Chain A
Amino acid sequence: MKRVVITGQGTINALGHDVPATLEAMREGRCGIGELDIRDVERLSIRIGGQVRGYEPEAHFNRQQIALYDRFTQFTLLAAKEAMEQSGLSFIGELSQMSGVVLGTSGGGMNTLDENYRSVYEDGKNRVHPFVVPKLMNNAAASHVSMTYNLKGPSFTVATACASSNHAMGLAFQIIRAGGSQVMITGGSESMLCFGGVKAWEGLRVMSKDACRPFSANRNGMVQGEGAAVFIFEEYEHARARGAEILAEVVGFAMTADASDIVMPSKQGAARAIAGAIRDSGLDPSDVGYINAHGTGTAANDKTECAAVADVFGAHADELMISSTKSMHGHLIGGTGAVELLACIMALKDGVIAPTVGYQEPDPECTLDVVPNVAREAKVDVALSNAFAFGGLNAVLALRRA
């Protein structure tokens, strides 16, 4: 089996428009959640989110591109550009034929859907722009990345709600490990902060009106975010031969299904995914120093996740650190695992553990070390990234220090 390493990373999210700005915010425990600035916000009862601010599409894309790129595609392309520049790769010849792109998203072009439904239903128009379909389709971002970087190998989009990015990155990892490709661009993107997107989530009654406080006894729900993160996964010998900087190694992946409830999480399903990723990596549970939690800030997720971690790690559960960076960037739904992988890489590479901000009251059902409010310096050898989606679909990645 081939070894898989990460040689590039890029992002845009509520904490920053690139990786350095995002990591700085995570180190400082800064919260990117604020009042939503979207059309018809006054008709929403949930008015906060982790919105990307100070972003002008015209600064990055021309008019023809904007006509084809939904906001989730724009975010993906900006994150991919940063990751590609760091990797120093270019795709020509045989490398181009074999390399591909696997991305996660849940809603795809939600802003495009929202704007065009508004146009035909509310404004009564009978004609829409010719590019509505290619703009809103879930695979639009993956396709534009393949076109931009000449990737002609295995390429597709994964939609498993809040686990989409982790499933996407896990599959990219497996493709390289099995020898199917030497380089894969992977990660995820989401842009659901539009009237219809937030209104739909409101209906489920799981959203907080004031803050995302994972693991805190007074938590009262999740807060949505938006953005993207993209990584370059590369076969180890390929990366070493060209002298690339290795940010971290991907060593394990597991996916499970709860097969029980469409929204309530299951401790067993989560625990099997965590244990499976460790087993797949060939490491011991006691090697794990940090877990980037799914940590949505809902009553149900956080206690179930803590119980699953306690089950898998036993006494070691009290030794490791587990934080939810959703408290800062919000829940990016299908893009969330990708942005959270940045925190895992920071823990391994820089020895800085991103905190769980907004933490106010200990919860007897969440007694793990959640790195409350302030980042911490610690040497970590192995980090996990958890994602447990609606629909009971779970995906956990294991990373090791390079």
Chain B
Amino acid sequence: MAESVKDKVIGIIAEQAVLEPSDVSMDSTLEDLGIDSLGLVEAIFAIEEAFDIQVPFNANDPSESEFDISSVAAIVKAVEGLVADQKA
């Protein structure tokens, strides 16, 4: 079976955080994982490339962006939504 969206996103985040995917828990925040603003922009780029989607995100105001980055779980959910929208 193909890798799930969740596994792929965790893989991307783990790579940015220089951690093993098993060390990335769903309730951790990017800050917990030591990912700074540049790491975040790189992770979003990697997500866009991996799923061939456009992520609505402006680094000037991450909290106002439509894309929720408050935790790993939130990011996975947002990406699942974008992937579903794209298939629809």
Interface residues of A (CB under 8 A from B): 45, 203-206, 208, 219-221, 262-264, 298-300
Contact = CB atoms under 8 A, between A and B. Distances in A.
A204 B59 contact: yes
A358 to B, nearest CB: 14
Nearest to A220: B60
A205 B59 contact: yes
Interface stretch (B16-24, B37-45, B73-81): B37-45
A205 B38 contact: no
Interface of B: 37-38, 41, 44-45, 54, 57-61, 64
Contact of B38 (A221, A263, A298, A299): A263
Given A203-B45, A205-B44, A264 B37 contact: yes
A299 B41 contact: no
Interface centre among B41, B45, B57, B59 (most CB of A within 10 A): B59
A299 B59 CA distance: 8
Contacts of A262: 38
30 contacts: A45-B54, A203-B41, A203-B45, A204-B41, A204-B59, A205-B41, A205-B44, A205-B57, A205-B58, A205-B59, A205-B60, A206-B58, A206-B59, A206-B60, A208-B60, A219-B60, A220-B58, A220-B60, A220-B64, A221-B58, A221-B59, A221-B60, A262-B38, A263-B37, A263-B38, A264-B37, A298-B60, A299-B59, A299-B61, A300-B60
Contacts of A203: 41, 45
Nearest to A209: B58
A262 B44 CA distance: 19
A204 B64 CA distance: 17
Contacts, number: 32
A244 to B, nearest CB: 44
A62 B45 CA distance: 44
Given A203-B45, A205-B44, A299 B60 contact: yes
Nearest to B37: A264
Contacts of A208: 60
Contacts of B61: 220, 299
Given A205-B57, A221-B60, A299-B59, 14 more contacts: A204-B59, A205-B41, A205-B44, A205-B58, A205-B60, A206-B58, A206-B59, A219-B60, A220-B58, A220-B60, A220-B61, A298-B60, A299-B61, A300-B60
